[in-house]
């Protein structure tokens, strides 16, 4: 549903960024001083590195126009964007890497959307009419610093400071152990936004490493995020365990009031091979301070490549925060799903993915996402074509099969997008 609402564009991460940082600038202003200071400091470092040794700075990136369309309520709508990402990377100073990237997004087409148009009538009827304007969403052109970090490598130690991409977990469609990012199940491999953090990696031996991560999301140490993670390789398996203490913000979308709560997450993941199949899994148990609403989430998956080149993958995902009865979905469930506050609205999901190399330049395939809890299905066919050495084309559709009010309701409309990526 959220994907349709957002013009069938699968890169949810960007919508979340827009929602949090552009559409809701108040949140941006409320970011702690430390965060801004960190960004500024790293900017200076990166720009400094660039200026003293411009010849040793790699400048690269990509231009990505995307055309998205959807049929909804017997009408065709489109929301498109042109995205330019410019990356800088320098290793001019021995053992230190500076990296940064800037993203410029220009929208065109239908930029103003009303979320209420996509919610079931029985939910809209619970919202006071004077609150309707709060459910308007506008895609605004934006320029932002997505990443800016310095990474220091000293023997088996790596310290990364600044706004950086952080990826955790072994799941493909979703990563329960990764509370910093929310993957879009329609396009799960798309890049994630950067996060302000201080990260320390200690590599012990060839297949063991420890990670400590501090994310200054609050104004003080106590309420900021702290994560420790240990990873070890045994035989053909990699295992990791993690503990993450963080502050979670919940929004009441009836009143738009926000509440903070401390959470403690204990997680583990593995990836390896069993009987010739690739297998992986990851799970968490989340303790919520001062409340009895602890929840758990896990995902398990398997994959295989056939001799013909056909690749197949299957994942099962359970989120105990999701609901098993779709008639109980309420406004908060939907809106928290839209904004990434929660990863799924339903409790059980099955994901399938296949890909076949039709030629050496064309891959065809697609995903099927089944919400087992509410018995709705999304079909997501894809075609990838490598047009030139640095030009990729991608065509993706989304077709929903489900009754109104379900996660993938056919009444939400169907659509797709055409994306060109030109790397330079």
Partner 1 sequence: MNCFTNLLKIISCAAVVLCALSISSQLYAQDMTADEIINTMTETMNPDQSQGRMKMTIMTTSGQERTFEYETFSKNQGEKSLMKYVKPTRVKDQAILMLNNADDIWVYFPRTKRVRKLATHAKKQKVEGSDFSYEDMGASNTFIDEYDAVRHNDEKKEGRQCYKIELTRKSESSASYSRIVMWVDKEYMVPLVIGYYHEDDPKLWEKQLVCSDIQLIDGIYTPMKFVMYNKLDNTHTSMEIIEVTYKVELPDNLFTEQGMQQ
Which residues of this protein are in contact with partner 1, per CB under 8 A? 60, 62, 97, 153, 155-156, 158, 164-167, 170, 189-192, 201, 203, 206-207, 209, 233, 236, 238, 271-273, 276-279, 303-305, 307, 309, 311, 357, 359-361, 386, 388-390, 392, 423-424
- Residue 212 DSSP SS3: strand
180: left (phi over 0), alpha (psi -120 to 50) or beta: alpha
From the CB of residue 153, how many other CB atoms can be counted at a distance below 10 Å?
16
* Closer residue to partner 1, CB minimum distance, 195 or 336: 195
- For partner 1, give the closer residue by CB, 26 or 154: 154
- Minimum CB distance to partner 1, residue 314 (Å): 14
Question: Smaller CB distance to partner 1: residue 63 or 287?
Answer: 63
How near is the Cβ of 307 to partner 1 at its closest, in Å? Answer: 5
Instruction: List the beta bridge partners of residue 163.
Output: 148, 196
Q: Within 10 A of 247 (CB to CB), how many other CB atoms are there? A: 17
Q: DSSP labels for 273-309?
A: EETTEEEEEEEEEEEETTSS--EEEEEEEEEEE-TTS
Per the CB < 8 A criterion, the answer to whether 377 and 398 are in contact is no
Length of the chain: 424
The nearest distance, CB 252 to partner 1, in angstroms, is 33
Closest approach, Cβ 197 to partner 1, in A, equals 12
Of residues 219 and 421, the one with the C-beta less far from partner 1: 421
- Pick between residue 24 and residue 238 the one whose CB is nearest to partner 1: 238
The Cα–Cα gap between 333 and 298 comes to 19
Here the tokens at position 396 are: 């993706």
d(CA 237, CA 273): 7
Minimum CB separation of residue 28 from partner 1 in Å reads 24
Long-range contact list for 154-159, CB < 8 A, 24+ apart?
Answer: 154/95, 156/202, 156/203, 156/204, 157/200, 157/201, 157/202, 157/203, 158/199, 158/200, 158/201, 158/203, 159/198, 159/199, 159/200, 159/201
Complex with partner 1: residue 167 or 255, whichever CB lies closer: 167
DSSP readout, 123-179?
A: HHTTS-GGGGGGGEEE---EEEEEEEEEEEEETTEEEEEEEE-----S-SS--TT--
Which of 32, 357 has the CB closer to partner 1? 357
| Residue among 28 and 207 whose Cβ is closer to partner 1 | 207
User: In the beta sheet, which residues pair with residue 264?
Assistant: 245, 287
Min CB(241)–partner 1 separation in Å = 16
- Strand (E) or helix (H) holding 75: strand 75-90
For the bound state, the minimum distance from the C-beta of residue 220 to partner 1, rounded and expressed in Å, comes to 28
Q: Which tokens go with 7?
A: 């013009």
End-to-end CA distance of the chain: 34
Q: Beta strand pairing status for 391-401 and 295-305? A: unpaired
Work out how close the CB of 95 gets to partner 1 at its nearest, in angstroms, rounded to a whole number.
9
- Smallest gap from Cβ 312 to partner 1, in A, equals 10
Q: Tokens for 96, please give them.
A: 């230190």
Instruction: Considering the complex, state which of residue 24 and residue 97 has its C-beta at the smaller distance from partner 1.
Output: 97
Kindly tell me which of 188 and 415 has the beta carbon lying closer to partner 1. 188
The token pair at 332 is: 């908060």
Nearest-approach distance from CB 122 to partner 1, in angstroms: 39
For partner 1, which is the closer residue by CB, 259 or 359? 359
**Cβ 413 to partner 1 shortest distance, Å:** 29
Spatial neighbors of 35 by CB under 8 A, at least 6 apart, are 196, 216, 217
């Amino acid at each position: 549903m959220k994907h349709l609402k957002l013009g069938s564009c699968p890169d949810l991460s960007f919508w979340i960024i827009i929602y949090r940082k552009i559409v809701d600038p108040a949140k941006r202003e409320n970011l702690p001083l430390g965060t801004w200071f960190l960004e500024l400091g790293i900017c200076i470092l990166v720009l400094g590195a660039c200026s003293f040794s411009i010849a040793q700075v790699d400048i690269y990136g990509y231009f990505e126009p995307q055309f998205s369309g959807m049929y909804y309520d017997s009408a065709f709508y489109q929301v498109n964007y042109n995205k330019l990402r410019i990356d800088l990377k320098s290793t001019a100073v021995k053992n230190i890497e500076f990296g940064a990237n800037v993203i410029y997004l220009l929208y065109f087409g239908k930029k103003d959307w009303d979320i209420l148009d996509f919610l079931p009538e029985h939910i809209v009827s619970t919202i006071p009419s004077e609150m309707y304007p709060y459910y308007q969403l506008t895609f605004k052109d934006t320029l932002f610093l997505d990443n800016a970090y310095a990474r220091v490598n000293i023997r088996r130690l790596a310290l990364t400071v600044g706004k950086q991409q952080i990826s955790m977990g072994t799941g493909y469609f979703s990563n329960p152990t990764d509370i910093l990012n929310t993957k879009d199940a329609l396009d799960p491999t798309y890049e994630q936004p950067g996060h302000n953090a201080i990260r320390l990696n200690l590599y012990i031996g060839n297949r063991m490493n420890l990670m400590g991560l501090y994310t200054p999301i609050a104004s003080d140490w106590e309420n900021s995020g702290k994560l420790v993670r240990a990873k070890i390789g045994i035989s053909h398996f990699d295992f990791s365990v993690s503990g993450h203490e963080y502050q979670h913000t919940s929004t009441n979308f009836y009143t738009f009031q926000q509440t903070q709560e401390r959470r403690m997450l204990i997680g583990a993941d593995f990836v390896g091979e069993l009987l010739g199949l690739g297998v992986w899994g990851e799970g968490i148990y989340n303790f919520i301070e001062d409340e009895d609403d602890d929840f758990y989430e896990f995902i398990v998956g398997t994959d295989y490549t056939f001799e013909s080149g056909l690749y197949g993958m299957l994942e099962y995902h359970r989120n105990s925060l999701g609901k098993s009865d779709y008639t109980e979905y309420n406004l908060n469930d939907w809106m928290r799903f839209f904004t990434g506050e929660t990863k799924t609205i339903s409790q059980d999901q099955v994901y399938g993915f296949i890909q076949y190399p039709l030629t050496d330049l064309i891959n065809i395939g697609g995903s099927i996402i089944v919400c087992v809890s509410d018995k709705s299905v999304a079909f997501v066919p894809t075609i990838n074509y490598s047009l030139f050495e640095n030009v990729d084309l991608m065509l993706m559709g989304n077709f929903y099969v489900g009754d109104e009010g379900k996660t993938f309701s056919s009444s939400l409309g169907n659509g797709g997008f055409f994306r060109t990526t030109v790397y330079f």
